[in-house]
Amino acid sequence: MFTKINKIKNDIINEENLKFILQGGAFNFIAKFLIVFVGLAVNFIIAKFYGSSTMGIYSVIESILNILILISFLGTNSYILKLIPEHNGGSNPRIASRIYKIIFRIGFALSCLFALFMFIFSKQLSKVFFNDKSLFLLLAICALVLIIFTIYELNKETIRAMGQIKYFNILFVLPNTFNFILLLTVTFLFSNIEFAPIYARYTAIILSGIISISLIRKFLSPENKKDDFQIKKQVNISGSEIIKQSFPIFITSLMTSLTSNAGIIIMGLMLNSSEVGIYNIAFKLGTILNFSLLAINSALAPKISELYHSGKGNDLANLMQKSSIITFSISFILSLPLVVFGKDILLFFGKEFSAGYYVLIFIIIGQLVNVFANTIDSFLIMTGNQKSYMNIVIVSGVFNIILNIILIRQFNIYGAAIANMATIILVNIMAMFFIRYKYGYFISYIPFINKL
């Protein structure tokens, strides 16, 4: 047994492709860890000083914003990552400006439409989500923040598409950083402000949006009527065509987001804010296990494409299985203190949060399955199977919503956790066996089946 373990260890150390992935993933691991750490710090302050009820309201508003951002763009904000490099927009700011303006009109128009609806019906929506019409002001302000958040998201992805990774990373960390600083300041200087965490979050988004506007103006060229015709000829694509091409990405992203956020939104409709807050803290702790997968994935995705399109199937299979050993080992080690000391960790947030221990256990099981299955989304998309992956995600997304409605009614927050776990298991099993059927191997390392 030890001989086998040593052989696997030596194979991993001597694998050139894996060295490249680990070198690229190390910085991303640290960066994502810091971002999530700041997020957990924000959640701790809310839970400790404002209680589970405010935590619940904060979580529901976050979920609403995340889903509305996705719907506002219809996937075009992700598709810009393909469009700008494809048209050489990274080195030609005028081309990038042309593409940006087309997508900006789509996102801005739809976000304004959703914002208007939310603003007009804020009292009714407040009653639906929080069972309290007096909280309508939170949703009315949220409507206005949605527009700024939409602009921020597009600016961030455009700067990323133009290859300005340093500035992209700055924009990426700004909302969480501002949120933490503002919340910390308000909590200790003006502790009597009700819903301070939500107002701090709104302010953080607005500040990040303003900075993103100044940065995007730096990288995009202003209009020039003399070569405007030439640019339009080079970028001969309409908004409707971009939406059509982006639609599979939109459906996949929407269903993935629903898998993460549907439970919180449905709990907001069925349960009280305190229960939602307890669930959210347990969920945030459990998803720490995803660190290793997210970090390595950012460096792994282009390598998958390179090996696949160069016909190096065996190298690709080896790379995926060896990376699976590393990511699962890291996540499994991280899971042990959460399982053993989970109740004590939750008590650190407040006495009422200890009720979320079994929620944490279900989330941990789901995350370990997710990490074990390896980066199925990147593998399927990079190998040209995005439509198949979209179908898998649609099935699992519908399954998730139905299961949440049934189980939350019966088992409250534990029902939401079971639904989340079951959905993650379903999507990963379907994807794993689709890959096995099409390519003849699993991309996760399974002893006695895969041979390294």
Q: What is the mean pLDDT of residues 244-259?
A: 78
Report pLDDT digits (tens) over 104-144. 888 899 999 999 999 999 888 888 777 777 778 888 999 99
For 101, 235, 279, 415, the CA distances from 222, given in Å and listed in that order, are: 11, 16, 47, 53
Q: Which residue blocks in 310-385 are alpha helix, DSSP H?
A: 313-340, 342-349, 357-373, 376-382
Instruction: Supply the pLDDT for residue 375.
Output: 76
| φ, ψ of residue 447 in degrees (nearest 5) | -55, 140
Q: Is the pLDDT confidence value at 12 over 50?
A: no
Q: 89 by DSSP, 3-state: which?
A: coil
For 382-398, what is each residue's pLDDT tens digit? 777 778 888 888 898 88
Q: Given this model, what pLDDT does residue 218 score? A: 83
Judge contact between 330 and 291, C-beta under 8 A. yes
Is the pLDDT reported for residue 46 higher than 70? yes
Query: What pTM value is reported for the model?
Result: 0.74
Range 282-288 average pLDDT: 87
Per-residue pLDDT tens for 65-104?
Answer: 988 888 888 877 777 766 776 665 445 667 777 788 888 8
Mean pLDDT of the chain: 80
In three-state secondary structure terms, 193 is coil
Q: What is the pLDDT of residues 336-371, one digit of tens each?
A: 999 999 999 988 888 888 888 999 999 999 989 988
More reliable by pLDDT, 285 or 80: 285
The pLDDT value given to residue 366: 92
Segment 35-54 shows an average pLDDT of: 84
Of 83, 190, 64, the C-alpha closest to 126 is: 64
Decide if pLDDT at 64 tops 80.
yes
Question: What confidence tier does 41 reach under pLDDT thresholds 50, 70, 90?
Answer: confident
> Are 436 and 449 in contact, with CB atoms under 8 Å apart?
no
Rounded distance between C-alpha atoms, residue 282 and residue 347, angstroms: 11
Q: Are 300 and 378 spatial neighbours (Cβ–Cβ below 8 Å)?
A: yes
At residue 146, the pLDDT reads: 93
Q: Measured in whole angstroms, how far is the alpha carbon of residue 159 from the centre of its chain?
A: 18
Q: What is the dihedral of CA 238, 65, 414, 324, to 10 degrees?
A: 50
pLDDT of residue 441: 79
Rounded Cα gap, residues 36 and 302, in angstroms: 24
Residue 293 CA to residue 375 CA, distance in Å, equals 7
**Least confident window among 157-166, 200-209, 228-237, 353-362:** 228-237
What does the alpha-carbon distance between residue 73 and residue 104 come to, in Å, rounded to a whole number? Answer: 9
What per-residue confidence (pLDDT) applies to 5? 47
Q: What is the pLDDT of residue 336?
A: 92
